[in-house]
Structure 1
Amino acid sequence: MIISVASGKGGTGKTTVATSLALALAPDVDVTFLDCDVEEPNAHLFLNPALTGEQPVTTFVPEINEERCSLCRKCADICRFSALAAAGKKLLVFPELCHGCEGCLEVCPENAISAGSRSLGVIESGRIGKMHFHSGRLRIGEAMAPPLIRQVRKWENQSEITIIDAPPGTSCPVISAMKNSDFVLMVTEPTPFGLHDLRLAVEAVGMLGIDAGLVVNRADIGDDRVRRYAEDKKIPILLQIPFDREIAQSYSQGRTIVERYPDWADKFKGLYRDIMRIVMHKEHG
């Protein structure tokens, strides 16, 4: 079971929900937690894993053998991201623009291109008790998050529960984090901004064809337009978290909801049971 926890915007409490769900389930079942919010990973602040290793992640960039290169421009013509360009009698490479498709390798008639690499970032791994933890951290200045997210997702385990903390928003990194999940748990808040970005998130999840449900955070503020929207779109609201000063204070101290209020562990276990019922119902028609 792979559950992606996502949000249309930052600041809704996505990581709070993801880490609380993981901690509530971990005493009873095997859990793997993947922090795929690689531009701003912060799940480790709440889970406090004992880190056991760090894996560098690189991506392909072309290296040019100038003695073999005939400046035929075929590599530059196939590159849709302008990572290669012929200038005078020299072929220029712009590594930061390369998307790693390796098309230039395939079309070069002179075998003048070989596989180089550039750093994308690292994956930190560890444990919280029995829970496995893996977190991607994008290199400062690197713009391409999806390849690193895909590497983090290689640690997912279908034989146990994998919880993915996805990036906020609806761009390519979010799609990479949610794709092929069994369920997407969207965290929102009952505000005009929350509703606007929830609509975008629902569209993205709909294109992927994944079942989804909502957690409404700070549920007792704002208005009821998020609830009306969820009802109209037939998206179940699986959990509502009240606006609570002590929860906010605990968050600022790096403590999850289930640590501040142990009785909420049962509510998060119930959330998981509801997710299972939805997924099983779809599988059995």
Structure 2
Amino acid sequence: MKIAVLSGKGGTGKTFVSVNLAASIKHCIYVDCDVEAPNGTLFFKPKMLESKEVTVAIPTFQLEQCTGCKQCVAFCAFHALAFVKQQPLLFPEVCHSCGGCKVVCPYNAIDEEEKRVGSVMKGISGTTAFVSGKMDVGQVSGVPIIKAILSQIKNEKNVIIDCPPGSGCMVMESIKDVDYCILVAEPTEFGRHNLEMVYELVKVFHKKFGVVLNKCTESDNPSERFCHEEHIEIIGRIPFDREIGKKNSEGEIAVYSNETAIAAFDAIRKRLEKKVRC
């Protein structure tokens, strides 16, 4: 099974759920796609085995061959190209590295060069394999890095993907090939709003999904009310527990030693096994 863990914002417990669920599954692969702020390493503390850079192709121009026909500018749907003083000008921040401008140029005036945007790392922590990526400072999009990460686990089973927060392009890239999505929500009105946001996303992608309610207390839970209103299945409840919170804040994986966490994640794992087989 290939499971993606999502949340509408940071701080709901997405990584907490991801690392503890991965640790509770024998011989699992934990994948950290939160490439802007990857923190799975703080919990698994993996022995790194491999690291490689991620690059994208950026167009370069042979000005002596350019006639100013502007076919490349007309082709670019992202407005990454313009002509200024009869010379082509590239805005690399919005270039999507599609290579189309090179294809349409009738005068072979466009080449490509590789530009580094980040890196991908692989490691091991006990019986858990570890794959993560990190976007270089100043880069606009982490999508190329997420693509590079996911290419490492294309044919693997028992994969837990720790997605970026929110519902943008990087999240969409992270979930497009998964079997099931877990939406993590906290018991506040803000948590309900952000749950609704990722709920709409997984519906667009026609993914099977369920909700894990984190930090549950005896008080009213707006996120739980939303699940009941929308007939969304709740596949797990994790109680508000000071010991679990302390372990998480100290970079410890709770299922290694906390009985409450062990019981909660064992129940979630068993329900997932049934759901993904359906």
TM-score range, shorter chain: over 0.9
1:167-246 to 2 correspondences below 5 Å: 167-220=164-217, 223-246=220-243
Q: Is the partner of 2:108 in helix, strand or coil? A: coil
4+ residue runs over 6 A deviation: none
What CA deviation, in whole Å up to 9, does each residue of 1:16-51 have, x standing for no partner?
11000111113xxx3111100000100110011001
Report how far residue 222 of structure 1 moved. Answer: 5.1
Match of 2:67 in 1: 70
For residue 2 of structure 2, what is the aligned residue in structure 1? 2
> How far off its partner does 1:208 sit?
0.4
Aligned counterparts of 2:220 and 2:3: Cα–Cα separation in 1: 28
**Equivalent-residue separation in structure 1 for 2:238 and 2:264 (angstroms):** 10
CA distance in 2, matches of 1:221, 1:252: 23
Q: Conserved in 1, the CA contact under 8 Å of 2:238 and 2:264?
A: no
1:121 aligns with 2:80: no
Matched, 1:248 2:234: no
Normalising to structure 1: TM-score of the pair? 0.93
Aligned to 1:11: 11
Tell which deviates more after alignment, 85-94 or 138-147.
Answer: 85-94
Cα separation, partners in 2 of 1:157 and 1:270, compared to 1, 3 Å: farther
Cα deviation per residue 1:163-217 (whole Å; 9 max; x = unaligned)? Answer: 1000111111111111121000111011000000100110000000111111111
Task: Please point out which of 256, 261, 267 is paired with 1:259.
Answer: 256
The TM-score, its normalising length taken from structure 2, stands at 0.95
Deviates more, 1:208-217 or 1:258-267: 258-267
Q: Is the 8 A contact 1:2 1:162 kept in 2?
A: yes
2:109 to 112, 122, 145: 112
**1:222–1:84: structure 2 CA closer, same or farther, 3 Å change rule?**
farther
Would you say how many aligned residue pairs link Structure 1 and Structure 2? 278
% identity of equivalent residues: 36
How far 1:6 sits from its partner (Å)? 0.6
- The one-letter code matched in structure 2 to 1:233 is E
Which segments of 5 or more consecutive residues in structure 1 lack a partner in the other structure? none
The two structures, once aligned, show a CA RMSD in angstroms of 1.5
Letter in 1 for 2:82: A
Consecutive unaligned residues in structure 2, runs of 5 or more: none
